């Protein structure tokens, strides 16, 4: 097979963008050139690599295998480039990080301080729900992922780097808002607004309620912390959210943390990546930055 490294990069861009035009933009070539190069790759392999359905590219089994191989080659080459730059005293390259949506309240600030130290590094940050991050983790698309409930069915390098306490919030005018202590059983008559099934916050909350043999009256399931805080501020019910999700929007001023027995629920933030993936030099530096700066950030919040 005679396939160039640039053609592998192009095919990888096709797999990640889902379109020939997207692959052309990502690799800075014209669409006709991209189409021609992709035909050459297909001819070299000798099997169909993708098909276009409803203007969207879908990889075949052979295409998925080629994409995995191309990704491994590209990752190894990027790591080599970073090592050579490091040898020459340079710190530049690419860093790809995927985070669950609740982590957006602190990760950008940690990234900001990192970028100030290493301005030549290009960073791609994906903010998704837990299912989206899990898919990227399974596809080995990122240098690392940040989440609160890592999966148990994937072999991972997993490191806890910061607590993620979950608290109960209510509207400021709620009858229990000024109470110094509230028993969990007293919330039996309250209507709850919770994150969607499958989210890390929901999984930790459900596990806690199950241990305490408490069954909440569910009013709403919502897919974002902002929507939950607005609903609580509007007196639709009470909710369980990460403490990190508070104090980031106007709605936060209209809610209060209830002092409920057993809360905050103990949870943690994890840095994870597939066990077989070796961190690039830049990713390793960023990991150390996360471990150091997250503690400093926490001290500023307390």
The predicted model scores a pTM of: 0.70
Q: Are residues 7 and 26 in the same domain?
A: yes
Q: Are residues 11 and 79 in the same domain?
A: yes
Q: Are residues 175 and 54 in the same domain?
A: no
* CA angle (284, 5, 138) in 5-degree steps: 50
Residues of the chain predicted below pLDDT 50: none
**Which pLDDT does position 118 carry in this prediction?**
85
Q: Are residues 101 and 183 in the same domain?
A: no
**Which pLDDT does position 58 carry in this prediction?**
92
- Residue that the structure tokens 């690039």 belong to: 280
> How does DSSP assign 94-113, residue by residue?
EEEEEEEGGGGGTHHHHHHH
Whether residue 77 lies inside any domain: the answer is yes
Instruction: Cis check for the bond before 205: say yes or no (omega within 30 of 0).
Output: no
Phi and psi at 59, nearest 5°, equal -75, 145
Q: Are residues 241 and 195 in the same domain?
A: yes
Q: Are residues 17 and 68 in the same domain?
A: yes
Q: Are residues 185 and 234 in the same domain?
A: yes
pLDDT digits (tens, 9 = 90+) for 35-49: 999 999 999 999 999
**Which pLDDT does position 78 carry in this prediction?**
79
Whether residue 19 lies inside any domain: the answer is yes
Q: Are residues 274 and 133 in the same domain?
A: yes
Whether residue 134 lies inside any domain: the answer is yes
Integer Cα distance of 188 and 13 in angstroms? 51
Q: Are residues 251 and 171 in the same domain?
A: yes
**Which pLDDT does position 121 carry in this prediction?**
86
| End-of-domain residue from the set 89, 117, 152 | 89
Whether residue 263 lies inside any domain: the answer is no
Q: Are residues 142 and 278 in the same domain?
A: yes
Q: Are residues 279 and 145 in the same domain?
A: yes
* Residue numbers of the domain that contains 62: 1-89
pLDDT digits (tens, 9 = 90+) for 124-147: 899 999 999 999 999 888 999 999
If one counts the domains in the chain, the total is 3
**Which pLDDT does position 249 carry in this prediction?**
61
Residue among 124, 136, 77, 74 nearest 97 (CA): 124
CATH number at residue 117: 3.40.190.10
pLDDT digits (tens, 9 = 90+) for 199-230: 999 999 999 999 999 999 999 999 899 999 99
**Which pLDDT does position 248 carry in this prediction?**
62
């Amino acid at each position: 097979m005679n396939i160039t490294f640039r053609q592998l990069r192009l095919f990888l861009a096709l797999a990640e963008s889902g379109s020939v035009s997207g692959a052309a933009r990502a690799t800075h070539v014209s669409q006709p050139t991209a189409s021609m190069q992709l035909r050459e790759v297909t001819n070299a392999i000798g099997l169909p690599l993708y098909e276009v359905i409803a203007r969207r590219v879908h990889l075949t089994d052979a295409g998925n295998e080629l994409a995995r191989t191309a990704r491994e080659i590209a990752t190894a080459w990027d790591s080599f480039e970073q090592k050579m730059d490091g040898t020459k005293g340079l710190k530049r390259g690419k860093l790809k990080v995927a985070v669950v949506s609740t982590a957006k309240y602190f990760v950008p600030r940690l990234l900001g301080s990192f970028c100030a130290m290493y301005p030549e590094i290009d960073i791609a940050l994906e903010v998704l729900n837990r299912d989206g991050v899990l898919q990227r983790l399974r596809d080995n698309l990122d240098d690392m992922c940040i989440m609160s409930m890592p999966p148990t069915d994937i072999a991972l390098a997993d490191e806890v780097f910061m607590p993620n306490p979950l608290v109960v919030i209510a509207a400021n005018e709620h009858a229990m808002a000024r109470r110094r202590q509230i028993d969990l059983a007293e919330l039996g008559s309250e209507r709850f607004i919770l994150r969607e099934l499958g989210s890390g916050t929901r999984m930790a909350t459900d596990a806690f309620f199950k241990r305490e043999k408490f069954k909440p009256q569910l009013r709403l399931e919502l897919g974002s912390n902002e929507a939950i805080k607005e609903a609580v501020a509007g007196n639709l019910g009470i909710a369980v959210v990460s403490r990190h999700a508070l104090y980031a929007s106007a709605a936060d001023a209209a809610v209060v943390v209830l002092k409920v027995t057993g809360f905050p629920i103990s949870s943690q933030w994890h840095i994870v990546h597939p066990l077989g993936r070796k961190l690039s030099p830049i990713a390793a530096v960023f990991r150390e930055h996360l471990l150091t700066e997250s503690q400093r950030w926490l001290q500023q919040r307390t």
